[in-house]
Amino acid sequence: MNRNEWDDRYRTGNLPWDRTTACEHLAWAIAAFAVAPGKAVDIGCGTGTNAIWLAQHGFEATGVDISARAVEMARAKAADAGGDCTFAAVDFLHEAVGGGPFSLAFDRGCFHSVGPGDERAAFACGVARLLEPGGLWLSVSGSTDAPPRDGGPPQVSAREITEAVEEHFEILLLQAEHLRNDAGETLPAWRCVMRRRRPAGGGSEG
């Protein structure tokens, strides 16, 4: 979908992916990998629930989404919740994200929404550019472990994930899990934790 179509979804409230509580995989990964509070970016932040959670847990949180309407909703939600976040309307594949470098990147259902092949590789490259060397990326994506379906989240295979990310990331964990929504539905998903590769020779990048 293009930017206008995403805006229309947020205006009409047709948001089956939206959550009123933070993604459980985010809290799990921060604990399991002992991620210290630092700069974090939520890619495809939607109405801001996860970015707000990060801010409330000590992170300097930035949320970006292609939909300007989603960003408006996220800012309003953050104001009500007391979450000190930065939000920006950004087409992640084609526009720059400010505020980096980040120590943590998170996306819940954004990576799986871009086109296959080169677009997913470009997405992974974009995440790598945002992260400091050694920074972590947690991605939660719909899995091909379920039969093909017309609705619901897009589905990606483990091979598609690894082929897209391995040039820039060391995969620390790729685990079968579930995506859950506020309606109580659960669908098979991948939980993938990756570490940005350090430059050859251990030097810094300019």
CATH of 3-9+21-199, one of 3.40.50.150, 1.10.287.610, 3.40.190.10, 3.10.129.10: 3.40.50.150
CB 100 within 8 A of CB 130: yes
Residue 164 pLDDT: 96
Q: What is the distance of C-alpha 203 from the center of its chain?
A: 27
Count of beta carbons in the 10 Å neighbourhood of residue 6: 21
Whether the model pTM is above 0.85: yes
Can you tell me the distance from the alpha carbon of 95 to that of 109, in angstroms, rounded to the nearest whole number? 19
**Looking only at Cα atoms, what is the longest distance across the chain?**
51
Share of the chain above pLDDT 90, in %: 73
Residue 204 pLDDT: 47
- Written as six digits, the tokens of 64 are 């970006």
Determine the average pLDDT of the residues in 59-78: 97
Average pLDDT, the chain: 91
Asked whether residue 1 carries a pLDDT value surpassing 90, the answer given is: no
Ranges of each domain in the chain: 3-9+21-199
Residue 202 pLDDT: 53
Can you tell me the distance from the alpha carbon of 197 to that of 168, in angstroms, rounded to the nearest whole number? 6
Asked whether residue 181 carries a pLDDT value surpassing 90, the answer given is: no
Identify which of 28, 48, 63, 66 has the alpha carbon closest to the alpha carbon of residue 192.
Answer: 28
Taking only the tens place, the pLDDT of each residue in 109-162 is 999 989 887 999 999 999 999 999 999 999 999 998 877 766 667 889 999 999
Identify which of 51, 113, 114 has the alpha carbon closest to the alpha carbon of residue 81.
Answer: 51
CB 102 within 8 A of CB 138: no
Residue 78 pLDDT: 96
pLDDT band at 201 (very low <50, low <70, confident <90, very high): low
pLDDT band at 14 (very low <50, low <70, confident <90, very high): confident
Calculate ∠ Cα 16-50-6, nearest 5°: 45
Residue 160 pLDDT: 95
Q: What is the distance of C-alpha 98 from the center of its chain?
A: 16
Residue 198 pLDDT: 84
